[in-house]
Each structure stands twice: as C-alpha cells, then as structure tokens.
Amino acid sequence: MAIYKLHINGRSYQADVEPDTPLLWVLRDNFGLVGTKYSCGIGACGACTVHVNGQAMRSCTLPVAAVGTQKVITIEGLSANGDHPVQKAWDEVDVAQCGYCQSGQIMTAAAFLKSNPKPTADQIDNAMHGNICRCGAYHRIKEAVKLASTKA
Ligand code: FES
Ligand code: FES
C-alpha cells in the first residue's frame, strides 16, 4: 500500500491503496464518486470514462500510480450545475434509457467536442463508437453530440 494524492474535480484527495489499483476503484470506493461506472473492467465499453488532463481515459484500466499530478475530472466535476453544453444537449434530446452508460458517454463527448468543436456526423460516429450502450440509445447519443456542438 502507498498513499496517493490525487487532483480530482479541482479538489485534493488522498488514498492509501495498492499501486495497481484502478483509478475507477479509487474514485468509487475511496472517494464516493460513484457517477463513474464499472461495467466491463477491461477498457472495452467506456462506462468508466473520465478526463485526465483533458483527455478521455478509461479509469478501469488506469492504475492509480500512473495518475500522478494529472488533473482528473469526473462526471461530478464536469460542470457546477449540470449545465455543460453536452449535459444540456443530453437533457434536451432525452438521451438516457437506463442511464448506466451515460456518464461515460457524456465524458467522451465532452472531451471530443473540446478538441473538435464542429464535428461532422462521421467524426461523431468515430469518436463515440467505443462507448457501448446496452439500451441501444446510439441514435439519441449522436443527436445530442451534434446538438451540443451548436451550443458550445
Ligand atoms: S468499465 Fe472501463 S471500459 Fe468498461
Ligand atoms: S442508456 Fe442504458 S446502457 Fe446506455
């Protein structure tokens, strides 16, 4: 075990965990940031996506020891009042079905739109295709990403 100091959502956190503990476990079990979801656990579904220094990353395969001083943003810290353009578009389109994949979808979309604010439909497809939605809400997800690109 070792003590890791992490910068998450603009705050400092500390966890005494094994170095290979996935960031996802630390977020959820140590810090109570349960908006980030566990699904496949092998980097294959995107449910656990967070931002690390602005990049969308899968926290289930990221060891806490590799995070260092990088700035982590989770769905809880994406905006102060749930009013990030992606979150507003999600509400407007009423994207969620069961909701389980949604924080990962939103975090992926937010990082993507930051690097590509006015994407084409194909670029949206490419950016979002690795995020699995068991409910099959793909059409609404893509519609909301497109809508968010008009709001930013
Ligand atoms: S839970 Fe991390 S990619 Fe599926
Ligand atoms: S909304 Fe249910 S898994 Fe995506």
What is the C-alpha to C-alpha distance for residues 110 and 115, in angstroms, rounded to an integer? 9
Note the pLDDT of residue 130.
97
pLDDT mean over 61-87: 97
* Closest protein CA for atom 3 of ligand 1: 43
Measured distance CA(145)–CA(124) in Å, rounded: 7
Q: How far is the CA of 85 from the centre of ligand 1 (A)?
A: 24
Q: Which pLDDT tens digit goes with each residue over 4-15?
A: 999 999 999 999
Q: What is the pLDDT of residues 88-126, one digit of tens each?
A: 999 999 999 999 999 999 999 999 999 999 999 999 999
Looking at ligand 1, which atom is closest to the CA of residue 41?
1
Provide the CATH topology of domain 2-77. Ubiquitin-like (UB roll) (3.10.20)
Q: How many CB atoms lie within 10 A of CB 30?
A: 17
Q: What is the 3-state secondary structure (H, E, C) of the chain?
A: CEEEEEEECCEEEEEEECCCCEHHHHHHHHCCCCCCCCCCCCCCCCCCEEEECCEEEEHHHCEHHHCCCCEEECHHHCCCCCCCHHHHHHHHHCCCCCCCCHHHHHHHHHHHHHHCCCCCHHHHHHHHCCCCCCCCCHHHHHHHHHHHHHHC
Tell me how far apart the alpha carbons of residues 129 and 48 are, in angstroms, rounded to a whole number. 15
Q: What is the mean pLDDT of the segment spanning 51-64? A: 98
**15-47 pLDDT per residue, tens:** 999 999 999 999 999 999 999 999 999 999 999
Smallest-distance ligand from the CA of 132: 2
Q: In CATH, what class is 85-151? A: mainly alpha
Query: Which whole number is the average pLDDT over 46-67?
Result: 98
Interatomic CA distance for residues 131 and 47, integer angstroms: 7
Q: Do the domains at 2-77 and 85-151 have one common CATH topology?
A: no
What are the residue boundaries of the structural domains of the chain, listed by start?
2-77, 85-151
Q: What is the CB < 6 Å shell around ligand 1?
A: 38-41, 43-48, 58, 60
pLDDT at 152 over 70: no
63 has a pLDDT exceeding 90: yes
Q: What b-and-e string marks burial along 80-118, b requiring 16 or more CB atoms within 10 Å of the CB?
A: eeeebbbbbbbeebebbeeebbbbbbbbbbbbbbeeeee
